[in-house]
Amino acid sequence: AADIAHNPFKADFPLLESNPDLAFLDSAATAQRPACVLDAQRRFYEAKNANALRGLYRLSVDATEAIEAARSRVARFIGAAHARDIVFCRNTSEALNLVAASFGGLVLKPGDEVCLTIMEHHSNLVPWQQACRRAGATLVFLYPDENGVVTQAEMDAKIGPKTKIVAAAQVSNVLGIENPVREMGERVHAHGGYLVVDGAQSAPHLPIDVEAIGCDFFAFSAHKAFGPFGIGVLWGRDELLDAMPPFLTGGEMIEYVTEQDATWAPVPEKFEAGTQDAAGIVATAAALDYLDGIGLDVVHAREQALVAYLMARLAELPYVRVLGHPSPAHHHGVVSFVVDGIHPHDVASLLDLENVAIRAGNHCAQPLITWLGEESTCRASLALYNDQSDIDRLIAALKTTWTTFNPESQK
């Protein structure tokens, strides 16, 4: 197992280096950034800054080339065959809105079904609610078993001839479980439908190969994968992207404009209206270099060791209940829990007094929290820069929180 008592990675992260007392356990919300990513962003502004695509002068061409190099880098990261099928947007939410509005608008007909898991983030739920409403289609949900597993039987029952689209998180941001997206794809494809994968929580933790998954669209956010805020990635199948209408319109995404009409630039520009965040895109490529440089196998082994230790330590506290799968192998960096009789917001606030940062709330997955019979949960999420001491601090702070609320327990 990975050596989580030692931490060779923390030194790469300036914020963690300058806050040695902080136990940062909220990487599923956004990760910290290594210096190489911050440097790449800064270097762009210092050496290459110009509006890409617009100019014919050297700096602008440099900026354009930097974006295209980053596009190829992203394609390689997720196993995409063509860089042109990578669309840059703001975040996973925007990528999924693009798919639901443009592709959903194109293919959904009255009576069709869109099938989601009940554990979808609101970003992969609300856009489909809207798309279904517009098309007269129906939303259908896959419910997991008591461990959070979507079973073959559930997929067989829900994915059928009416299913036009299955849209699912590869990894849940609440339960940390990996959904059987490849099996979902096989089923929906057998009925002539399509698979959309929300990779926001998988791309930072698992090696991604869109061809092996067999999906038609894949979305993730750079900021959860050590990259900058403001950059989302959408990959889609060539022929689908070609057939889809634009989502946002305006500059850079057109071919020809007259007073009354316009024609569209080819993919990917068709989906990239307006000025691109070239510096962010370049920094995203640097983040993927950083991740690949370490190796997702190393990342995964370390996270697994951290999760195993976290769950073992939480199990020592009789007043803490972990949600989802009992085995750490089924948690990809994410562990949600509740503390008996103490509201998750109070838990998070008291942990903050001990310099332990966790998330509390519904995690933008309200239907799942409701289905679990909770109103809110605590969530600790891990990344490779965490170590055993972060978890020890969390456990100590949870004990303090418990005795603060239950002073008689100390007697």
Report, as residue numbers or ranges, the catalytic residues.
Answer: 364
Q: Using only the alpha carbons of the chain, give its radius of gyration.
A: 22
Pairing of strands 194-198, 217-221: parallel
Tokens read off for 343 = 């509201």
Nearer Cβ to ligand PMP (173/401): 173
Range in contact with ligand PMP (rule: CB under 6 A) among 2-10, 31-39, 196-204, 354-362: 196-204
CA distance 405 to 53: 59
Closest approach of Cβ 239 to ligand PMP, in Å?
Answer: 26
Nearest to 236 by CA among 96, 134, 107: 96
Determine contact, residues 159/113, Cβ cutoff 8 Å.
no
User: Can you tell me whether residue 290 is helix, strand or coil?
Assistant: helix
Q: Does 377 bind ligand PMP (CB under 6 A)?
A: no
Determine contact, residues 86/71, Cβ cutoff 8 Å.
yes
The end-to-end CA distance of the chain, in Å, is: 39
Which of 70, 98, 155, 200 contacts ligand PMP by CB under 6 A? Answer: 200
Site for ligand PMP in 207-266 (CB under 6 A): 221
Range in contact with ligand PMP (rule: CB under 6 A) among 87-95, 158-166, 177-185, 260-268: 87-95
Q: Does 198 bind ligand PMP (CB under 6 A)?
A: yes
Closest approach of Cβ 208 to ligand PMP, in Å?
Answer: 14
Strand partners of residue 230: none
Closest approach of Cβ 320 to ligand PMP, in Å?
Answer: 23
Range in contact with ligand PMP (rule: CB under 6 A) among 120-128, 304-312, 379-387, 399-407: 120-128
Interface mask (CB under 6 A) for ligand PMP, residues 10-49, using x and -? ----------------------------------------
Range in contact with ligand PMP (rule: CB under 6 A) among 53-61, 118-126, 314-322, 399-407: 118-126
Interface mask (CB under 6 A) for ligand PMP, residues 149-188, using x and -? --------------------x---x---------------
Q: Which residues contact 353 (CB under 8 A, 6 or more apart)?
A: 397
Q: Which residues contact 241 (CB under 8 A, 6 or more apart)?
A: 85, 87, 267, 268, 270, 271
Q: For residue 134, what is the enclosing H or E element?
A: helix 126-135
Residues forming the site for ligand PMP (CB under 6 A): 91-93, 121, 123-124, 169, 173, 198, 200-201, 221, 364
